Structure formats: C-alpha cells, structure tokens
Structure 1
C-alpha cells in the first residue's frame, strides 16, 4: 500500500472517452460516452451491463474467449455464459467491431477489436480519434432508419483491416504480452507502443498486475457483491503482485517450496526407518544365506565335472552308432528294392489270377441262373398244363398265364376300389345266370336229340344241314313247330341248295358260309363239351364272386396286406410269362455257357498254379527283407537309446535352469578326461548325475528362497516379478546377493546417514510451518493498512468502517494443527502433520505458479460499522455497501497507478432504481471524490435518477427499421440523435 496521500481528483490525462459498437451484442450502431456520470436506460435484456462490460476486452490483454469465465467473467444471475455464446454475442459476424476511443498525453487514439477464428479476436491500434474513421463504418447521411443513418455494406474485417493499417497507420496486436505492455505502460519516447496506453501501471506490465486489474474490473462492474466475489480476488492479486504469495527459500530467486516433495521425502524417511529396522532384525537370515550360497557353489563345481564326462561318453557312442546305421541302411535299401520288384510281379500275376477266378465264377453263376429259369418254366408248365389237358402247348399255357394275370389285375382293382369290386360281382353274377340258362338249354337240346324230337327231326331230310350251315345255333334250338311254321321253314330251306360242300341261296353261293353236315352224335358230344366248359366258367365266376365279396368286407389293414400279396403274385406271373416266352433263347445260352465255363475253369487252374509259385517267392523275399529291417531296428533302437541319453542330458541341463551354463563348459572338455566307452555305464552315470542335480537344485532353491525372503522384506529395492524370476544363469541372483551384502555390511553407516537426513527434513518442516503460518500475518497486515486508509474517509453517517478478512475454515484448521506440532528433530512427525500439509497444498497452493492461493484463503471480506461510538453488527443498506466498495476500489487502484497520473474508469451500479435518492446521491459523491464515473443501469427513467444524474443514455429507444440485423444487434444510439429535427409536411 502506498504511503503517500491519494489524490481524489484525477487530472484526466488518460481518458477512455467512449465505446463504439458495430453489429455487436444488442447494438447495430452505438456510440456510448463513458467519460462522465450517466444513467443507461434500457429494457431488461437489452444489453445495458454487457455493453459496458465490453470495456474488459480492452483493459485485459486477452486474444481469445476460451475459458471466458476466468478471463472476463461475463455472466447473468451468477451463472457464467458459455465461451461460444459470449464470443458470438460480442462478435456475431465478420462485420462486427468494438472500438475504444481514448486519449493520453500522446494524443487521441483508438483500439479496434474484430473477430477471427476459433473463439479468437484481434485488435488494431490507431493514432487517431474515432471521429476520423467513423465514415468507414457509418453513413450518417443515409435516410435509412428514419434518417438515423445506416452501416456501410462493405465493412467486413478484411477490407477494414487493410484500410486501417495502410491509410491510418494502424498497428495490429496479436500477442498477449505485447498487448499488455502497450495498454499498461505509461507513455514515453522510449516505447512507441506506449502511444496506445489505456491504464498506466507502476513498473508497467506483469502477469500479476494483469490479475489484479482483472479483479478490480470485476469489482468495478459489480459493486454490490464485491465483498464476497471480486474484493477477495483483488486483495489476493495485490498481494501476489507484491510477491507475498510466492514462497522462496535459501534466499535463491526462483527456488520455490515443493510441498509434494516434502511429503515424498517424509514417506521415504519413514520407509527407510522401517527398512533399517528390518535389516537389523534379519541379520541371522543373512548369515544363513551366506552358508547356503557356499554349499551351492561347491555342488555346482562337482555337477559340471560329472556332466562333462558323461556327455563325452555319450557323444563317442553316438558317433560309433551313426556308422552302423549308415551300413545297415544300405542293406535295407537293397532288400527293399528286391522285395519291391517281387511285389510288383506278384501284383501282376495276382491280377491275372483274380480275373480268371472272377471269370470262372461269373460263367458258373450265369449258367446256374439260366438253369434255374428253365426249372421255373418247367414248374409253370406242370402247374398250368392240367388246366387244358387237350392242348399242352406253350401257347395255351401263355393264354392261361394271361388269364391268371388278368384275374390278378382285376383283384388288384377290386382291392383298390370297393365300388369296382361290387360292379365286378354284378357282372360275374349276370354271367353266371346267363351261363346257367345256356346249360339248361343245351341239356334240353341233348334230350330232344337223343329222343328224336329235335327241330331237325321235325323237318324233312337235308333241311337240318342247311340251317346248321347258316347258323350252328339252330342245332341248339328246342322248339315244337306248328304245321304252318314247319311249312314255312321247309319252304325257306328249299331256297338253299348244297353242292360239293358249298352252300347256295337262290343259286348264289354264300362264300364264307361253311357246309356242316348234321350228325346227332357229334353234336351231342359238342354240346356236352360246351356244357362242361360253361359249368367250369360258372364255378370260376362263383368263386370270383365269393372272393370279391370277401374283399369288400376286409379291414383297411387286411385289404392293404391282400393288395400287396396280389401285386407280388402279379409280378411273379409276369416273370413266368417272360421266362416262358424266352425259353428257347435261354436254352441256347445254357449251351454256350457250358462251353464258356469249361474254358474259364481251365484258365483259372493255369493262373492259380502261377500265382501259388509267385506267392511262395514273395514270402521268401519278405522274410529276407524283414531280417534286414530287424537288424536295422536293433541298431536304430540303440541309436534311440543314445538319443534318449542325449535328451536326458539335455533335460538335466534344462531342469537346472542354466544354473551352470553347461553349453559353454562342454567346449572345455578333452578326450583324455574319459577313456571308458562301455555304453552300459551310461545309464548308471546319468542316474548319479540326476541325484547330484537334485541336490544342486535344492541348494539353489534354498539360496533363492532365502534371498527372496530378504527381498520380500524390502531390504533392497526389487520388483515382484524379478523376485519370482531369480536365476543363477542371468546374474540376477548374484546381483541381488551383492546388493544385500552391501546393505548388511554397511548398516552402521546407513543408520548414521538416516539420522542426519531426518534432522535436515524436520528443519525443513519447521520452515514450511512458519511459511504457512505467515500467510495469516500477511493478510492481517494488509487489512490493517487498508483499514488505516479507510479511516481518512467519511462514509454516509458512519463514524468508521473496518474491513475484516474471514479466512477459509480449512486453512484455520491447518494452522491449529501445525501450532500443536512439536519441533523435535530426532523423530518423524505424525501422519496428521503431513495430512494437513497435503490439505494445504491441495486447497491453497498453486504448484505451477509456485505461490499460495490467497484468494481462496480469504473466503470473504466482511464490514464492521461504527456509528456514534457504537459497533453495529447488523448489515447496512445496499447503498452503504456500494459506497464502501467504491472507496475500496479507488484505494486499490491508487496502488496500481503512478501518483502523478490521473485516469477515469466507469463503475456500474445495476438496478439503481432500488435505491432512495439520499443513498444514490451519496454513491455519486463517493464516485466524484475518487475520480470514478458512475454508470447507473435501470430499465426506465425515474425521478430519483433524474434528480441525481443530469446525463442519461436511452440506448434502447431506437431500433433498426430498414436494414437487416445480425443476431440481437438492432439498437442505434449516439448522443444527440434524439434531438434530430425533421420537416413536417402540411396537408393541402
């Protein structure tokens, strides 16, 4: 805090005159003066506060809206806007601009902001007043928007940027450091960029001062809530700027306290203490490990020597056996070739033998099959010949077969369809009745003939032959003629004449009519034969009727079974018919088959003799070949035995886990080391080696286990996987042994070193404790100095105002714990001590910056008011708080700006309509005393505002009516536009 008196009347050498908005926020085109007290009147959500908040974009050296809540704090209702929303609000398009018109001892100048890409914006500084460049953006002579004017159509950033740089000597700024140095460095001839200084700082630009300005700006734009938000941040930033929060030690610039490293060292010391105790407690185990290791080394030397000797013996037998294997292989090859030759001849002869055998069997089988067919034909003849004893020819038998086939087919049809069976019975019954009637007639005819009372007996001689020649049925007629019928019949017979066995009717020959001479005996015999045949048919038809009736009464299962029997019978009858038809052809085949069979059997006998001879030769050759193979097997078996010995040795080598590196020691063996070559000794020697291997492995495992037991206790550093992969061959066992050896032999030195480190560590802890405790002292000292300054000012009707820093309860808890911690240097601190250190680091220490987060420690700034000697604990009015915060803002700014420089800055009091006139005037008075400009923001003009402020800006009164707008940018405002005169025309 500066000790000199703070001038309450700034000389206005550094002025921010106005803010100009082009297609930005809610503003189509707005020029807002900020160098005098004023009221901003606008509807809710019309951009009152956000318009003034744009001043942060000029007074903070930022180039991007990324993390805008940390950089600018644009918010509404205590809720921060999203980065993109804020960016698009202020810069909705490429023709969006925000311009700051300012002046300093070097003259008038402008800062022009415009959007680029990816939430970024750039700026150009111009050494001219905005009035000189306004024509680039605004056409005031336009009749648009009720003569208010309009924006030019070609104001996109690319074109404007080029014009501002080339025509008006504009200078682009894209680097945060360059921007900060330009706006915070007071004007001088040594720095051209200081020509554009807006807020001169003591000692110019620094990152700490930027954070202080950020906090003060947030305070200036939110006076009513400063005590809980921006004021603690501002105070913390000032302390940061004074390097009070940066922690150094050993008087070395830049060496910051690493709390995390201190905790790590405590853990390391704690672990080391435990480790040293473990080393002392396991000294006996170490002595046991040394003994086990010596025993293992001796067994290893003995094992290597035996292994080399046995390996040499096995290799000698292996070489000898390889020669024998080569010799017998040659003999086996010759025997195999001879056997192969015999085998091929055997196969050729066997093929001929098999063919002859198959041919003989085939001929015999064919002959037997034909003979079987002939036997079946003879059986068919014997079976069917009695049906027609007068005619035993094959034709009559075929007719009988056809008749049986037809009957069988009719049975099948009847079985398949009951209706057909019924119709069949009806047909058969009709035929039986007809045949019985014919038998009756024929019987009567025979009786008349025998009794000489037939038709022919009544007629004159010769008439009977004539009638019979015309129709044989006249002989079967049994009728008694009347005289007239007799006369007529005889007259008719006279028309027929017989001559030389020919028949004439009225002398005309009946060519196809056969002459038949009447002979009663012949006719009687013929009639009897016909009666016999008719009776036979009557019998057959009766049987068929009975059979069809039985079929119609069958169940479905019985019917299906009977149908299958009939179908099988039908197939057999058809085959019998075919065989009977082919009888002569089959007999011819039998004759040829007998001859062929004789030839085939002779060929088979000849080939059989050859085959038997070749087969005996083949057996003899196979026996000779198998003898050679047997010899080869014996030699190969011995070869396998030798290979088994080799594998056993290899298995022994592998099972030792390359403990002895046997693949290397074998090269050192000489032939003179082992003269015995008896293979029978190999097995016993390998058994001895196996026993020695078991001892070697056991001693190795014992050494490993004891080493691992010591490693598991953490005596030397090791990985879990390494501890369970300890090997003799790769050196890991030796390496850990030597490490353990170093630890146990240097335990006394290690204990002394630990004592020294512990003392040094505890001394550092004391330093850390003191630094953490000092933070409270720094804050209290700053607040004491600030309260001393506050006593110089009269605020409202209060006797005095005192600021009280309310510290974070977690920080106060840390202080309590650290104060209760002892300062002994020969023992480790408790876990709680380091827990508090860790809590402090996690909550109040910014590691990357190497400083204490004072803004977090100061949780809130509260006020204690005194009136007429009485301390008032009740909260004061919002207006009183704003007046206090305004004084604080001025005091804090005074520390930032050189005392010989004056500047102006707008302070925003939102919703001023909630104040009474007296409080409002008090706030204005405070602003005037401290060189700040009050901007009261309210939705509407009222009497209180009008009585206090003479200037007001009704920025939402006029809106665009002719031109297209971007987003919300529809407001047109510039001072004086509300006084425009228009000529009113008179109606005729």
Structure 2
C-alpha cells in the first residue's frame, strides 16, 4: 500500500501477510493484508472468518474463554459463536497454525499462533524473519499434487515446528503480561524489547490502554457500526482512558450512597429516641440506688442470724450424730446377729432338706437297680449289651408298626416294598441253591485264577453270581482283558497306571462257603418278609378305631421298652451313684447334729442385743427433738432469703457472717423489713418497664424486660446498659454529626462525578468535532459527532440540580428517593446488573450531525452505509492517535464485510480516506462486481483453489499460495469496461 508523504517521517508498523495452515476452512492459504483486497467466493469458504482471525493477533489474549466478549465472532444470523466452536474452528488439531507476517522499524518478523497446553488456549511464537524463510516448515510447495499447489508436510507436528522456530531465534509469548509488554509496549528505541512490537501504545500498554485498544479493534472490524453498542462503548472507554489514574474513572455506586443514608437515618432516629428518654432514666436510676441500700442492710441481717442458728444447730448435730452412731452400731450388731442366727438356722434347714433329698435319691437308685435286675432276668443267657440291642430293635419295630397303623399310604407302600423284597430275595436264594446244589460253575470259576481275581476286584457282587457257560473264545477274551491289569501294593493297576480298586484274590472254596452263609441269611430275611407281609395284611383289615387302639397300645409298649433301654444304659452309673449316696447320707447326719447346737447359742445372744438397741433409740429421739426446734427457726429465715427476697440471690453473694447471738424475736423484725424491700423492688420494676417501653435496647431490652423481675443480676446489667447508653450519648451525637458531614461530602463528590462525566462527554464531542471539521466526504461539508445520554440519567441530573446539597444535617429525603427511583428505572427495569454507574452506561447512542454543501443547518438524517463507514474510519483514526506513540503510523486493515453493498462513489471515497489515514480496505464479497473492480484492484476468489488430494480434512480444502489477482481499470472514464488479468 502506498502511504501519503505526510507520514514519511513516521515510524511505520505494517502487517504484510496472513497465513492459515490446517485452520478454519483452509488447508493452506497465504493472503496479503497490506493492499486493498477483496475476498471473493461462495459461502462457507471462510471469508469472514479470515477477516476476524486478525483479532487473534491484535488483541492480547491467550485463550478462547468468554469468546463472545473477547473476540465477538458472529455467525450469519448475528449470534455469537461459542468458545468451543470458535476454538475447534481455528485450531482443530495440534498441527493447526495461523501466522501473521509483520514489520516494524527493527525489521520483519512473524507471529505464529498454535494450540496451547490448557483447555481453549493458544500460544504465540515470535520469529525474527520474513515468512518465506519458514514457509517450508508448513507446506510443501514443490509437491505436484493438488494441481501443483503443493501438499502438507509429511509428519508435521507442533513440537517439531516450535523446535525449528526456536532454532531461528523464536520467542514464546504465552503470558498476558508479556504479550502486552512485547507486542503493545513503547520500545521504539530498544531493539531487544521492541523487536516484535505490533502497536506502540502511548503509555506502554497499561490495562486501561488495552481496554481502549480492544474497543477500537471492534470498531475497526465493525467500521459500519452495525452493532449499536460499538461506538458508545468505544467512546466511553477512550474518555476514561484519558484520565491519569484508574481510580479517577467514573464509578459511582448509588447503592452505597443509599445504604449509607439508610444507616445514618436509622442511627439519627436512635439517638433522638435516647435523648427523649432521659427523665425516665433518671427516675429509674434514683429508685435503683435506694433499693440497693435497703438490700445490703437486710442481706447482712439475714446472713448473721442464719449463721448463729447454724452454729447452734451444729453443736446439737454433734450430739445427734453421736446418739445416732451408737444406736446404729447396736442396730447393726443386732441385725448382724439376727442375720447370723438366720444363716445358721438356714444352713441347718438346708442341710436337713438336703439330707432328706439324698435319702430319697438313695431309695430311687435302689429301686432302679432292682428294676434292671428284673429286666435281665427276662432274658436268661443274654449279656446286658445283647439285651439292650434286642430292646432297641424292638423299639424300632414298634415305631414302624405304629407308623403303618396311622398312615395307610405308608402301610400300602411298605407292603408293596415287602413283597418286592421277598420276591427279590427268593430269586437270589434260588440262584444260590442252583449254584450250590447243582454245582453250577460261576464265571469266576470258569476262567484262570488271575482273571477271576481281576473281575472279582472290579465287581465282586456281579461276577460272583453270574453262571453263563463260556466258550473258549470268551475265556480267551477274558484272559486277555485280565492281562491288562496287575496287582501293585494291594491295588489293581491298569496298563501300569494305578487305580482306586483294591486287589481281591479269588478262592473258589471260600466263595462256596460265602454262598452257604449268604443262603442262610437269605432264608432268615425271606421269613422276616413273610412275617411283615402277614402283619401288614392283618393291620389293613382293622377298623380305624381298632387301629388307633392298637397304635396306643404299641406306643405304650415302645415307651416302656425305651425306658428299659435307658435303664440298661445307666446301669453302671446307678451302681456308682448308690455307693456315693450311702457315704453322703452318713456324713450329713453327723453335720446336722452340730448345726442344731449352733442355732440355740445364736438365739440367746440375739435377745440380749435387742434390749441394748431399744435403750439407744430413746436417747436418739430426745436429741432429735431439740434439733427440730432449731431447724424450724432456720427454715423461717431461709424462706425469707429464698422466697420473699429470692430476687436478691443472697446465696450467690457469699457474704462472710459476723459472730452474733440469736433471739427468736429477730425472725419477726427481719420478716417486716423484708416486706418493705419487696415493695421497693416492685416500684423499681415499674420504673424499668416505663424505660424499656422506649425499646432503646431492642432485642437485648426485650430480654431484660422478661428476666429482670426474677433476676436482680439482669436488672443490674440492664441499668449498666442504660448508664453506658446515656453516658456516651453526647459523644455519639458528636460522632454522628461527623458521619453526616462525611456522608454529605462524599455524596456531593459522587454527584459532582456524575456531572463531571456529562461535561467530559461534551468536551470529547467538541474535541472530535474540531478534528472532524478538517474532513468532508461525498456532499457533506461539515460533520459533528454527538452522544445521546440515557434519558433517565438526564432527568436525574435535572432533579439533582434543584436540590440544596449545602446542609449541615442529612440531605433532603427527596434526594435519596430520587436516587432510589433512578436505580429502579435505570438498573432494575433497564435489565442492568448492579447499581454502579460507569461511563459506558451513560451513553445510550452515538450519532452524527451533517451539513450538506450549500446548506446552513445541520441534519441527523441517516447516511448510506458507505458514508457512515468513511466517517467511522476518520473517527477511528482520531481515536487511534490518542492511544499510539507520537510519530507512529500503522498499516491496519479496515474490515468491511459485504463490499458489494457500497456504491462506486462511496467505495472510492472509502479507499481515499483509508489511504489518507494509513489503512487498507480488506473486505469480502460473493463475487468481484464491476463497482468493486473500479476501486479495489486486488482480489482473491477462494472458490478457485480447492484441494483435490491429501488435504487435512474435507472441511479445510481451500489452498492459495500466490499473489492476489488484479483488477486494473482503464482511465478513460469511470464507466469503462474492466480489464481482468492474472496478478
């Protein structure tokens, strides 16, 4: 961009190129930003987002949090993009980069933006070189793919790129303070600190300067001022930024003024109430002092008399104690002797009872032994063990028979089972008889001895009774099968592998003997089956009543049998028990005779002690009577202290008594004086109630009023509180007046601040109007700026001017009512937070007044978007000069979205104004119209450069690596056709 000669002596700060690598809608794009340029192309190619990306360099932020407030990225519908959406758009991956090539007096440099380590953060790397020196780190221009436009770097990574940039002298700037100091500080003469300065702010990049700069950036990106708050917020921030101190900014907290007023009003009312209660307080205080004098006198008398009574009673108590102890000792001895007599007698009775029980136990043991003898005699030739086994079997049979009688289904099942068992046993018996009587050989007898032993070991029950006739082949097969098994340590091994089967050597003679024994057993079992079948058949023919009778009879028989079994089981124990009981009964008989003599001796001693105890009881009654008389006097004096004069809390005083004598008449005198003190107490309470009605102590006073009558300590505390209140009243009144004076002074200062804010806005308008007077555009000969203040604020100033603020007491109530009404209208109803006024809240709207050529009057009629943009451009330049270091010129792109909406004349004028102020137009349009072509010679049609292969993502396909194309117009006339050539 060509700059005017007027800036030849100035320090120039230029932006040259903007590069996107795998960011936004771009795989790789290099754009010149130091020429008037129009971005063309269809929607969704990222034209507007490319323009907005400049904010990431121009604003000293390091993350996307609160993105709407920091960057104000807006979508087509006018809504702000979210933090997540903005961050993932500009930095979708770790190898996403946005690069700005810039230049200052110390030479060219690049700022490389990349993803940060924290959520939604991005980092800066400043490199002291032109972009061409580091271009190979981000894109392979030599690659033939994508139509020769190049390809991404294979294996590109964030850590690798940053490492290479550091090797070229790159410096990381990730801290907000560092960013402000290095990019926006005043370092014109210091090459080390100013090497990467983008914009040298006048005061070195203070926080307030940065706030103002942010507003100007938003204006530069909204040069048409479509957002109605852009100009008001910008102007408010600039005005405040001119102040020399941060605390000089407008910050009037109306709520603090109102709260302070309410607090002072409340305090003033309280002090007035206290002053009005001075006479009731003096009356209460006088009566309290009289009451205290009487109270001290009666308390002294009560304490002395009570002490005399207690002292006299103490001597009587010693006698009572001695008599009581003597009586108690005799009573204790008598009780102990009575207890001893009772214990001896109880022991005698206990031993007599125990002897009686042992004699009965001995008789019972003898009877049981006799019964055991009777049982054994019924089974001659049988041992005791055999008899017990026979009786146990009989009991089991009786139990089973009872079960069959009472359960028909079980009886039927038992009958069927008995028949099956009889049939099975009969079959086994017949088979054994055939083997024994007909000498039929079993399988085991037909094979060799080893094979027979193997089969018998595997299943003796099966093979012992099998009698089929084997042919030679079968015998050979069995022999071969047997050869697979061998005997090893009394177990069978199969193919040398040990098994769990024990080895049983087969003996035919022994097998025959076993068959004979089994046959005898089978005959007995078959007979038992026949007997059971017969019995079950007989039982089935009984009626229900007969069955029950028989069951009862069998149960009795079973019970008797079980008892006999138990006796036999305990036979040996009963013999031993009989011997032990014989010895025990003999010993107890001797011991019982000795105890009988001890009981007689204890009875004589008990009678003697009873006589002595009765005599001691008479002595004790006499001394107790004397003590009761003294207790009666003491009780009367204590009732006066604790009931009649309970409010004095005499016991808590702990006064030391004087040694005096006592006379019964003293009780009457003290009682009369106590009545007088009680009446004085009631009068004092009436005076206190009158004082408490004033509610001077608030919650504490209500507590005093409830408790003071019964708690003199509370009344004293109440008097102390009132004494402190009235004692400090004069000082509090003086302090209160000082607070009122300070409040009035502060309120006046705050209101002057509000008035001063209005004056500052008007002065700002005049200063800007002077600078705008040198500027004309289109058919406008003169332009003035004006700020429309909030109407509620204007009304507030008018009302305040009518109120006298020079008062010694609190300001008029009308002032605070007006401030409160303003807070309601302005903050609550206006939807604003808090109650603190600042400059931006005062300015509702910013507008221009215009005077056309040939006219005398100004008008506020809206101008075209182009005219407004040109005026805002001029205003932007004026405001920038307030912030930047003197003799500084920046080459800043002015962002104008939708260039096609401007007419040829407006666009041409906008270019001229931009050039005069050192700006370039940087805008977007769907296509390069002839109007744009006549004014802006450089354009880029992004839709012509789409990647065909190996892009980062299908969302990032735009690739542009060359210079912008040129639209050069013939100079014959403004309406000539446009000649388009490739740039």
- TM-score in same-fold range (> 0.5): yes
- Please point out which of 773, 778, 789 is paired with 2:755: 773
The 5-angstrom pairing of residues 30-429 of structure 1 reads 30-76=29-75, 77-118=77-118, 119-153=120-154, 155-168=156-169, 170-190=170-190, 192-226=192-226, 228-243=228-243, 262-309=257-304, 312-313=307-308, 316=311, 317=313, 321=317, 324-325=320-321, 328-329=324-325, 331-333=327-329, 335-347=331-343, 349-350=345-346
Displacement of 1:776: 2.0
1:496-551 deviation digits (Å, cap 9, x = unpaired):
xxxxxxxxxxxxxxxxxxxxxxxxxxxxxxxxxxxxxxxxxxxxxxxxxxxxxxxx
- State the TM-score, normalized to the length of structure 2: 0.63
Displacement of 1:81: 2.9
1:656-715 deviation digits (Å, cap 9, x = unpaired):
99976855644xx25x53344x9x9999899789868856875775676466445x2369
Match of 1:26 in 2: 25
Q: Which moved more, 1:930-939 or 1:647-656?
A: 647-656
Using a 3 Å threshold, how does the CA distance of structure 1 residues 720 and 208 change in structure 2: closer, same or farther?
farther
Q: What is the alpha-carbon distance in structure 2 between the residues aligned to residue 636 and residue 155 of structure 1?
A: 113
What do you get for the CA RMSD once the two structures are aligned? 5.9
Runs of 5+ unmatched residues, structure 2: 361-407, 409-544, 557-589, 967-983
2:883 counterpart SS class: coil
Q: What is the alpha-carbon distance in structure 2 between the residues aligned to residue 698 and residue 906 of structure 1?
A: 92
Q: Do the aligned partners of 2:31 and 2:963 also contact (CA within 8 Å) in 1?
A: no
Match of 1:420 in 2: none
Using a 3 Å threshold, how does the CA distance of structure 1 residues 29 and 700 change in structure 2: closer, same or farther?
farther
Using a 3 Å threshold, how does the CA distance of structure 1 residues 742 and 103 change in structure 2: closer, same or farther?
same
Using a 3 Å threshold, how does the CA distance of structure 1 residues 360 and 843 change in structure 2: closer, same or farther?
closer
Q: Do the aligned partners of 1:245 and 1:852 also contact (CA within 8 Å) in 2?
A: no
Using a 3 Å threshold, how does the CA distance of structure 1 residues 813 and 256 change in structure 2: closer, same or farther?
closer
Match of 1:863 in 2: 848
Max Rg structure: 1
Match of 1:786 in 2: 768
Match of 1:382 in 2: none
Displacement of 1:768: 3.2
Q: Do the aligned partners of 2:947 and 2:958 also contact (CA within 8 Å) in 1?
A: yes
Displacement of 1:103: 0.5
Match of 1:713 in 2: 696
Q: What is the alpha-carbon distance in structure 2 between the residues aligned to residue 705 and residue 848 of structure 1?
A: 48
Using a 3 Å threshold, how does the CA distance of structure 1 residues 49 and 256 change in structure 2: closer, same or farther?
closer
Q: Do the aligned partners of 1:143 and 1:149 also contact (CA within 8 Å) in 2?
A: yes
Using a 3 Å threshold, how does the CA distance of structure 1 residues 728 and 874 change in structure 2: closer, same or farther?
same
2:844 counterpart SS class: strand
Q: What is the alpha-carbon distance in structure 2 between the residues aligned to residue 189 and residue 640 of structure 1?
A: 113
Q: What is the alpha-carbon distance in structure 2 between the residues aligned to residue 295 and residue 81 of structure 1?
A: 83
1:902 counterpart SS class: strand
Whether 2:726 is the aligned partner of 1:741: answer yes
Q: Which moved more, 1:328-337 or 1:78-87?
A: 328-337
Displacement of 1:239: 0.3
1:203 counterpart SS class: coil
1:925 counterpart SS class: helix
Q: What is the alpha-carbon distance in structure 1 between the residues aligned to residue 230 and residue 250 of structure 2?
A: 30
Displacement of 1:644: 13
Q: What is the alpha-carbon distance in structure 1 between the residues aligned to residue 638 and residue 602 of structure 2?
A: 49
Q: What is the alpha-carbon distance in structure 1 between the residues aligned to residue 747 and residue 250 of structure 2?
A: 16
1:563-618 deviation digits (Å, cap 9, x = unpaired):
99xx9xxx9xxxxxxxxxxxxxxxxxxxxxxxxxxxxxxx9xx9999999899879
Q: What is the alpha-carbon distance in structure 2 between the residues aligned to residue 644 and residue 14 of structure 1?
A: 111
Using a 3 Å threshold, how does the CA distance of structure 1 residues 630 and 777 change in structure 2: closer, same or farther?
farther
Match of 2:838 in 1: 853
The 5-angstrom pairing of residues 525-924 of structure 1 reads 665-666=654-655, 669=656, 672-676=658-662, 698=682, 705=689, 708-709=692-693, 712-713=695-696, 732-733=717-718, 735-743=720-728, 746=730, 758=740, 761-825=743-807, 826=809, 828-830=812-814, 831-835=816-820, 853-867=838-852, 869=855, 874-924=861-911
Q: Which moved more, 1:317-326 or 1:342-351?
A: 317-326
Q: What is the alpha-carbon distance in structure 1 between the residues aligned to residue 278 and residue 881 of structure 2?
A: 71
Using a 3 Å threshold, how does the CA distance of structure 1 residues 297 and 943 change in structure 2: closer, same or farther?
same
Match of 2:411 in 1: none
Using a 3 Å threshold, how does the CA distance of structure 1 residues 690 and 78 change in structure 2: closer, same or farther?
farther
1:630-660 deviation digits (Å, cap 9, x = unpaired):
7899799979997997999699689999976
Q: What is the alpha-carbon distance in structure 1 between the residues aligned to residue 5 and residue 666 of structure 2?
A: 110
1:14 counterpart SS class: strand
Runs of 5+ unmatched residues, structure 1: 249-253, 365-416, 418-558, 572-602, 980-988
Displacement of 1:811: 1.4
Q: Do the aligned partners of 2:20 and 2:97 also contact (CA within 8 Å) in 1?
A: yes
